Amino acid sequence: MKNIKGHALIGLLLLAAVQGPAYGADPWALCDRPLVPPSGGSPEAREDEATPARIRADEASYDQAERTYRFRGNVSLDRADQHAEADEVIYDERTGRADLRGNILYREQGFQLSGSGGFVNLDEDRGRVDEAAYRIETGHIHGEAAVASFESRSRSSYRDVSFTTCDVGKEDWWLRAGSLDIDREANLGEAWNTWLSFYGVPLFYAPYLNFPVTDERKSGFLSPSLGRSTRSGNTIELPYYWNIAPNYDFTLRPRYMSRRGLLLGNQFRYLQPSLEGEMRFDYIADDARYGGERWLHSQYHVFQPMDRFRAEIDYNEVSDKSYFDDFGNQLDDLYRQRLESNAAAAYYGDFWDLSARWQRWQVLDRDLARERYPYERRPQIALNLRPPELAGFDLRLDSEAVRFDHTEADLRDTGDRVDTEVELGYPIRDLGYFLVPTAGYRYTAYELDRPSATAEESPTRALPYYSVDGGLILQRNFQWWNTPLQQTLEPRLFYVHVPYREQDELPLFDTSEPRLSMNRLFQVNRFSGADRMGDTNHLAFALTTRFLDRGSGRSYLSLSAGQRHYFDDREVQLSAGAEPDTRDRSDYLFELRANLPPGLTVRWDYLASPYESGDEESRLSAQLKPAADTVLNLDYRIKWDDGSRQREQTSGSLVFPVTRRIQFYGGGAYSHLYERDIERFGGFEYSDCCWAVRMVHRLYLNDLNDIPDASYNRETMLEFEFRGLGGVGDTIGDFLQGAIPGYKRRY
């Protein structure tokens, strides 16, 4: 590698060495627990009429005629998990009603009420408390009410009530309402005439509000997201989630942008025993900055009525080529070059599978000429056979028939292609070695519509090929830091012979020549796709060593090196009339994979020409994840071609906790070639027991195809969450999951 420059980004990322404790996804992890003291009895015992009620008091009397007990002074009553206290209690044996007077307390499993007076019906799980203070463990809910009534074990109602999910005595926000109903069984809270205040400052008023009282899905407004960007101006998004049924839901995401207008995002999801999917449609009627309506339409459906059959539809389309530039929130969206849509179905037999696919593309690259658009498959049908071993032989048959269409059919070849490949091998395997001789045959035929009147309309290609794959697996055991390890040494040789066949008359529908890698070193065809079968007579060799944990089999370190040696020139090339490749050696290949404690993974790929010192390519990436809430990612890429630097880029991202409540994240990408930032982002999250705030600020280039001259777009996202009043808006969460590999929310 050459010319590795330092950058401030790397220094920033080193801060991730600060490790903090890992936390789970419990939304109440920062709260004082428990909110309600544990009960000594069982709720199920209430249903048993024989369950006794025990009462203690300083004074007690009994009216035999009325079958009424009267208790005074430090009165306590217990039945099953129910416990009541009061200064005075009058209990009617006939009805099961206990009237409570003065400094009362009622508690059952997960629920508590205190107040100045009221009653409890022990047989019917009903009651009422005046001047009440209540606590509900599920949802970490507590507050006060002028009157609190409970009709059953799960249903309660309150008048002139205050509501919060904060810790007792640390109420940062309050929801106050004229009346409030809570149904824990239905996971529903409903409030009328409500005010929400934060640190004593009123935030909004609503005549009606509903919210979930557990962590389960519940219809209602999600947390709002605020933002500002260069392209769209000030932005506010207030999603609404509709839990239609346990297997259906719908999310409406209205997003107002001061420079564009109102964008309505719609997402519907469903789940059936054999069918599931989602549909999304985002629409803005009149984009004030762009002009006219704009939209995104996306659908994904999976149909699997049986284990062996699966069908899916993945449809994606946008109104214009600039849609993701203006409304995307990921680099993958912003610089997306094309959208794929396809429909596929497959049936899997015991030794075979049959599949069909229809595929189309929407090209978003404004600079790509239409004649260079990708081909569409309309349709593709494939049959693959893998019969069981017979007399030690392995048989493989792959065949497909495809119709290729193109938007510029008068300029590009279109038509049908049938491709069949059969391969027979005789694998010999033992503990320390393997040897696999193979013979194969490939036949490809076309029926074409061609712009050139002189071009052949029905070209074919047929050729045999041969290969021998063999290697050794040597092992040694040793101890390192009291850990039993095993090292392997794995030399491997792979000989291939593919004879030359003239293929200049064949079209190029889906074929390219990928750069050589360790994965492709032991493949027969140097081309991907069926339109070219590269002639070759070569020997590939590689040496791999691995360090494994003898107990678990976990691989800690793997090192590989390899190369090809060619005995003949390669005449078949992608372009007709291109000069043969006369090199007798391929590039050198090196690969490193490491998976080390404490949560460190490293990947390095290096490729260098044996002929030109200035022709090499390298990528080094690493991830450090010492705890569930601490992640550091680094990635460095460089490419030289004929002594000229073609690309050099550093990128990284991190997330780490400063305290239990504060978490920072950041990252970006930098082009050393153009000495410009491609993207930078940074932000923080502050979480308390009952609320959280998140913010991200980004700066990114508008056009990666013109890095030197492209302008920057700036965007700020701000998100508030009041836990217990709804779900969490996921704008920032979606962005962080895409921008920081390994990121997970703490709470």
Instruction: Count how many domains the chain has.
Output: 2
On whether residue 228 sits in a domain, the answer given is no
Each residue of 578-636: pLDDT tens digit? 999 999 999 999 999 999 988 999 999 999 999 887 789 999 999 999 988 899 999 99
Instruction: Examine the pLDDT at 483 and tell me if it is beyond 70.
Output: yes
Query: Are 98 and 153 contained in the same domain?
Result: yes
My answer on whether 80 and 203 are in the same domain is yes
DSSP 591-620: EEEEEETTTEEEEEEEEE-SS-TT-EEEEE
The pLDDT score that the predictor gives to residue 10 is: 26
Residue 639 lies in a domain: yes
Q: Looking at the structure, tell me whether residues 11 and 139 fall in a common domain.
A: no
Question: Is 115 found in the same domain as 13?
Answer: no
E-only strand ranges, 137-167 = 141-150, 155-163
Whether the CB-CB separation of 32 and 168 falls below 8 Å is answered with: yes
Once rounded to an integer, what is the mean pLDDT over residues 374-384?
96
Whether residue 646 is contained in a domain is answered as yes
Does a structural domain hold residue 711?
yes
Pick the most confident of 26-30, 213-217, 524-528.
Answer: 524-528
Question: Among the three residues 214, 245, 270, which one is the final residue of a domain in this structure?
Answer: 214
Q: Is 344 within the bounds of a domain? A: no
Residue 563 lies in a domain: no
Domain range spanning residue 173? 43-214
pLDDT band at 22 (very low <50, low <70, confident <90, very high): very low
Cα dihedral sign, 609-612-615-621:
positive
Work out the average pLDDT over 563-582: 94
Closest CA to 367 of 338, 327, 399: 338
Helix (H, G, I), strand (E, B) or coil at 394: strand
Domain check: are 67 and 148 in the same one?
yes
What local confidence, expressed as pLDDT, does residue 5 receive? 30
| pLDDT of res. 117 | 87
Cis peptide before 598, with omega less than 30 degrees from 0? yes
pLDDT for position 335? 55
Tell me the three state secondary structure of residue 281: strand
Closest CA to 419 of 363, 463, 374, 359: 463
Looking at the fold, whether 732 and 649 belong to one and the same domain comes out as: yes
In this model, does residue 28 exceed pLDDT 90? no
- The Cβ-side half-sphere exposure at 11, using a 13 Å CA radius, reads 4
Q: Is residue 132's pLDDT more than 80?
A: yes
pLDDT of residue 16: 25
Q: What confidence score (pLDDT) does residue 68 get?
A: 87
pLDDT in tens, 79-95: 888 888 889 888 888 88
For residue 193, give the nearest of 176, 181, 218 by alpha carbon: 176
Mean pLDDT of the chain: 88
Per residue in 216-265, pLDDT tens? 677 777 777 888 888 899 998 888 888 888 899 999 999 999 999 999 99
Confidence of residue 332 (pLDDT cuts 50, 70, 90): low
SS (H, E, C) 550-581: CCCCCEEEEEEEEEEEECCCECCCCCCCCCCE
Per the structure block, which two tokens stand in for 285? 């009627």
Query: Do 7 and 47 sit in the same domain of this protein?
Result: no
What percentage of the chain exceeds 70 in pLDDT?
Answer: 94
Tokens matching residue 69: 């007990």
Establish if 283 belongs to a structural domain.
no
CB crowding 215-252: b at 16 or more within 10 Å, else e: beebbbbbbbbbbbbebbeebebbbebebeeeeebbbb
Provide, rounded to the nearest whole percent, the portion of the chain with pLDDT above 90.
56
* Domain assignment present for 108: yes
Residues 11 and 138 both lie in one domain: no
Domain boundary among 183, 214, 245: 214
pLDDT value for 348: 96
Per-residue pLDDT for 366 more than 60? yes
pLDDT above 70 for 17: no
Q: Which domain CATH number covers 109?
A: 2.60.450.10
Q: Report pLDDT digits (tens) over 174-204.
A: 989 999 888 877 777 788 998 889 999 988 8
Which of the four pLDDT bands, split at 50, 70 and 90, describes residue 25?
Answer: low
The number of residues in the chain equals: 747
Q: Is the CB of residue 341 less than 8 Å from the CB of residue 310?
A: no
Q: Is 147 found in the same domain as 17?
A: no
The pLDDT of residue 7 is 31
